[in-house]
Structure 1
Amino acid sequence: MTRSLQKSTIIWRGFEIEIRYEATWLCCAQDDRIGHLAIKMVEPESMRLPISHTGYRSYFANPVEVDAAGGPVAFVTDWLNEAAQAPAWQEQSQDPRQCALT
């Protein structure tokens, strides 16, 4: 089976994020596929993602769920939006934008 990698770049809340998706990363049978998402913060490089403690997240996904969400971009965008509701992410994401009064 030929492997196919989709690469997309999105701007999410002002951050540039790269999404790589392979729907058939592991394929045993048509109904038994395992997809792989690689999500990486591009700019600013040192910023972490709300779905990881670093700027990178590797995630194995059911391709049926990714397709049902509207594809890898919609799947990741929904995931980021949901994770960004956490108070810890909201505090952390505001810190780089705060002015220091020292």
Structure 2
Amino acid sequence: MEIPERCERAEYEIYQMTWRDIAVEIRHCPSWFSVPEDGFVTQHIEIRSAEKRLLPITETGYRSHFLNGADALAEFDHDPVAFVFWWLDEAAKDPSWTRMEEDDRQGSLF
């Protein structure tokens, strides 16, 4: 694939949300990289929790995720916030998250 000579700066939409009492910022770029003549589009989502709080999709409070295709979020009505809520809820079903969430709430002496 040939890389275009001139790439424009990716523009992000920024959303603030709260998931299980954790403030979360979502940055979404619907066209992080594209090749218009081929119809190729890559979207980018960044997820950051306030104070680097644990999330079931990241232990560092930050997650970067790429989605291929302009319709990658079609199932969520092209809403990145709905996608992130779904992703967090699905990942939170893992029993290991339940333990980590409880430890995070209570704090640890070790």
Q: What interval of TM-score do these two structures reach, taking the shorter chain for normalisation?
A: 0.7 to 0.9
Which residue identity is paired with 2:26? I
Q: CA deviation at 1:90?
A: 0.7
Aligned partner (choices 7, 12, 16) of residue 9 of structure 1: 16
Let me know the Cα RMSD of the aligned residues.
2.0
Q: CA deviation at 1:99?
A: 7.6
Tell me the SS of whatever aligns to 1:33.
strand
TM-score normalized by the length of structure 1: 0.84
Q: Give every structure 1 segment of 4 or more consecutive aligned residues whose post-TM-superposition deviation is greater than 4 Å.
A: none
Match of 2:98 in 1: 90
Q: Higher mean Cα deviation, 23-32 or 4-13?
A: 23-32
Q: Distance in 2 between matches of 1:2 and 1:67?
A: 24
TM-score normalized by the length of structure 2: 0.78
Aligned partner (choices 75, 79, 84) of residue 76 of structure 1: 84
Gaps of 5+ in 1: none
Structure index of larger Rg: 2
Match of 2:42 in 1: 34
1:65-102 CA distance string (max 9 Å, x none): 223313100011000000011111110001133388xx
Gaps of 5+ in 2: 1-7
